[in-house]
Amino acid sequence: MKIFTYLILLCSLCAYSQDMETISWAGASMNDRIALTISYKEFQKMGRKADSLAVATPQDICGMKNMEGAQLLYFKGIKYLFKNDTLTFRGVDFSKRKFMYLATKDDWFDHSTTFKAFAKAYPGSAAYPDYSEDEDGNEYEMYTMLPDDDTDASEWRFYFTNGKLHHIDYWTPCE
């Protein structure tokens, strides 16, 4: 009887692990071309040029080791932390450019992604809305997915307004 109990437990854990909705950092890119972590030299070789640079605030680098003195690099709605010739993805605002998308192994997200489509593909994440407001007073429904790396405490945050995806942030908690 014990063996049967362990077998049922093992099968249920396997089924649960297959239902986990995660996104792989390594398997994601912008427009299937720009890696989420990329050297600035590689970025420039691709013919890319920053739209603007800004000083990263303590909140921008919160929870990220060795990022003091980093800058924020903006490129067509994508936000990267920039330090020591390395760009590290922090988010994408789809209202800035309509032809930008975040591609993953199994899916992609852009300005046309509806909440209905998101909920169909990721019902577990869509079941728990949170509400957020930006500094301009714009309100968003926020849904969270975890990275596929169990040791990463970060979250993928999807912000919807009027049923459409507005932006995605890769959020790292403060320590």
What's the pLDDT tens digit per position in 49-100?
889 999 998 888 888 878 888 999 999 999 999 999 999 999 999 988 888 9
- In the chain, the largest separation of any two C-alpha atoms, in whole Å, equals 65
> pLDDT at position 11, please?
37
Cα separation, 22 vs 147, whole angstroms? 5
Q: How far apart are CA 162 and CA 164, in angstroms?
A: 6
Determine the pLDDT at residue 174. 86
- Tokens for 103, please give them: 């591609």
Q: Which of 45, 23, 47, 49 is nearest to 36 (CA)?
A: 23
Give CA–CA dist 143/131, Å, rounded. 9
DSSP 8-state class, residue 86: E
Can you give the pTM of this predicted structure?
0.84
Residue ranges in the chain modelled with pLDDT below 70: 1-20
Query: Environment class of residue 91 by beta-carbon count within 10 Å: exposed (0-12), middle (13-18) or buried (19+)?
Result: middle
